[in-house]
Amino acid sequence: MNVRSTLILLAVAVLVGLLILVDSTKPPKDDRPSTSVFRDVQDDAIRSIDIAVGDRTVRLEKRTEAAEPWWEIVKPLKAPADKQAVTSLLSDLRWLYFKGFVEEAEAKARGDANYGLDKPQATLTCTSPGKTWALTFGGPSPVKDDEVFVRAAGQPGVYVVDKRLLDSLRKPPEELQDRTLVSIESWKADKLALVVGGEEVEIVKKDADWHIEKPEEIREKAEYTPVNKLLNDLRDIRWKQWVAEKPSDEELAKTYGLKPPAFRYAVSSTEAKKTEAVLLGGSVPRDEKNPDAPALVYVRKGDDGPVVAVESAALEKLPRRVDLLRTKKIWTMAASDLATIEVRTGGDAAVVEKPKDAADWAYAKPAGLKADGALVGEFVTALTGTEIEEFYERKMADPKTYGFDAPAAWLGLGLRKTETVTTGEGDKKETKSVEKVEPHVWLFGEAGGRVYVKREDRGQVVEIKPDLLKKIRLGALLFRSKVLVHAQPGDLQSLKVERMERGRADYATYACARKDGQWVLEAPGGAAIDAQKVNAAVGALHNLRALEWIAAAAPADAYGLGKPTVRVSFAWTETREVPKAKPAEEKKADAPQPEGAKGEAAAPGAAAPAGDPKPAAAPEANQGEPVKPADSKPPEVEKVTTSHAKVLLVGDPTKAKDAFFCRFEGEPEVFTLAKSTVDLLDQDLTKKAD
């Protein structure tokens, strides 16, 4: 290769390198078509927008002080701009491309009047730091009505573009306004200040829950769902008509009904650093020429803002009283929070308790009943599941109105509460947790077929469904075990079934007894016993369980129990191991002796030794030898057998026909037994001939 060829190749290589370098320093490729009027519009960089249509001018400015930038109309009125409308306008500018182009020389020769640019329809100027984009819109294109001539500042020639952007500029300033009344997102809101139902209400968010702080007499946890719905409903409202930017006090009072407003809803956000209020006024007069138009209401945007008109249907969702934002729950505790439950109906009272370390609930009153922990759990579930149907007076005027002059029931709950207690001072200072039980009492009233509840120490009256009162009226039965008889099948000794049979005016009687381990028929005479039926009846009785407790007491003839359809008499024995009784001399020896009885007797009238009494010194243990424990024997036990007998009365079937009302003869409690159980008892116990 000669020198000349080498120089040529070297020059080519240098040129290629320069081209690569130049290409690598070019800005990224723009995704807009090559026919775009402006290829360098950066939407986010624009800080102001000026629109002139005829003699009307509109100016918008971008506010960047807040965490989230926003656009504001500053001329001809001052109001937040609609974010979507501004975004759409800037997008149309960025993506504006031409469909035709007139060279500068030709355009100059023909003159601006030829393109309607001497009397422009509109101008648009967008400014960012160090850059301006401006368009002047002329007349329509002679080729298509939906195209117009436009000149771009700083660029030669005249463009032909779609007139969509021009149509956007022609809209009145109100069309560019933000039509929302509240822009704060529900998850950013942390306070609500309302005027509803003629009272001031303050609701504050603490952690994830809303709490009513005002009025003070109902300081409580608010219901999350309706509060959150209120926030979203406020944010969804859009005004329909612009009414007045700066209304006078007289206009607010006489024309718009906004001084004072009928209702006020204010939302605050610490994160967004703002408060937005919505004030509701009077109705907008109906347009007689358009009777089908939706009804409108005057609304003020903010305490000092403009007045607009909003469709009344959009405002009907807003709560008009604080009760609609209150929790519907009366009782919110867990079963583990309860130490005692007491119910009273009339003069009867029942108390169950569960000490902190106890395994289960037990009756403290009345004595001798066995509590069922599952029933206590069911009752607590019923309590916490009960919801308020309606709120009434907060300060009850007349107890008789709600039946509280003679309460239908009384409910007392002992709630566990742990407190930190500090004792001592200095080095002896000690802090410990102490559990206390706080009593809370509710009264139940009945009036006009409705059930009302109120705290004994508060005036607020609420209405609930009658189900809970029906449970409480069971009194001592509310938590009583549903096991009616607990015996082994072999413990039953006798069985008599008296049943009403077709064609008889009195009971047909079937009786049998256990003899030498076998069931023997005693009545009717001359018949054979059906062992299978007897065993089925014994199986139903040995662990008899109520389906439901119905009443602690009822009239003798209620539930068909005045003349039962079936009477089942049965007896059984129960054998238990109990500590064996000690002879009289052993009891005397084990009895505690008075002080001074052991060892040397104290002289009568002798004075006690001076100073604090000292405990006796323990005898020294032999070094190296284990101390032998005192002899101990397990307590002796003996078996005790007791006899029991009951008569079960079976009355009418329940409405659902799947159970029967029952009671034991001589006992007041009414309960139900499953039909399947009654069917096993209500049988002819004799064997029929094949």
- pLDDT score of 596 more than 70: no
pLDDT at 442 over 50: yes
Give percent of the chain with pLDDT exceeding 70: 87
pLDDT, average across residues 391-420 = 93
Within 10 angstroms of residue 108's Cβ, the number of other Cβ atoms is 13
User: Per residue in 176-193, pLDDT tens?
Assistant: 888 899 999 999 999 999
| % of the chain beyond a pLDDT of 90 | 59
For residue 586, which phi and psi values (nearest 5 degrees)? -70, -40
Instruction: Summarize the confidence of residues 124-128 as an average pLDDT.
Output: 94
pLDDT value, residue 39: 79
Please write the tens of the pLDDT for every residue from 455-495. 998 889 999 999 999 999 999 999 999 999 988 888 999 99
pLDDT digits (tens, 9 = 90+) for 87-115: 889 988 988 989 999 999 999 999 999 99
Q: What is the pLDDT of residue 512?
A: 95
Q: DSSP for 617-646, please give it.
A: PPPPPPTTSPPPPPP--PPPEEEEEEEEEE
Domain 489-577+640-681: give its CATH architecture: Sandwich (2.60)
- What is residue 535's DSSP assignment? H
Enter the DSSP assignment of 77. S
CATH code, 335-420+434-472: 2.60.40
For residue 9, give the H/E element and its range. Answer: helix 3-24
Q: What is the pLDDT averaged over residues 290-309?
A: 92
Pairing mode, strands 122-128 and 131-140: antiparallel
The 3-state secondary structure of 576-602 reads: EEEECCCCHHHHHHHCCCCCCCCCCCC
Bridge partners, 100 (sequence order): 160
Domains 335-420+434-472 and 489-577+640-681 share a fold: yes
- The pLDDT assigned to 314 comes to 94
Q: What's the confidence (pLDDT) of residue 178?
A: 86
Q: How much is the pLDDT for 424?
A: 80
Nearest to 552 by CA among 471, 453, 464, 498: 471
| Domain residue limits, the chain | 43-176, 191-325, 335-420+434-472, 489-577+640-681
315-364 per-position pLDDT tens digit? 999 999 999 999 999 998 888 899 999 999 877 789 999 987 888 999 99
Residue 25: predicted pLDDT: 29
Q: Name the pLDDT band for 419 (thresholds 50, 70, 90).
A: confident
Does the pLDDT value for residue 4 go beyond 80? no
**What does residue 73 show for φ and ψ, rounded to 5 degrees?**
-80, 125
List beta partners, residue 553.
none
- Per-residue confidence (pLDDT) for residue 378, from 0 to 100: 93
How confident is residue 631, by pLDDT bands cut at 50, 70 and 90?
low
Average pLDDT over every residue of 640-649:
94
Asked if 337 contacts 259 with a C-beta cutoff of 8 angstroms, the reply is no
More confident residue, 12 or 52: 52
Average model confidence (pLDDT) across the chain? 86
Structure tokens at 213: 């702080």
Q: What is the mean pLDDT of residues 14-39?
A: 48
3-state SS class at 389: coil
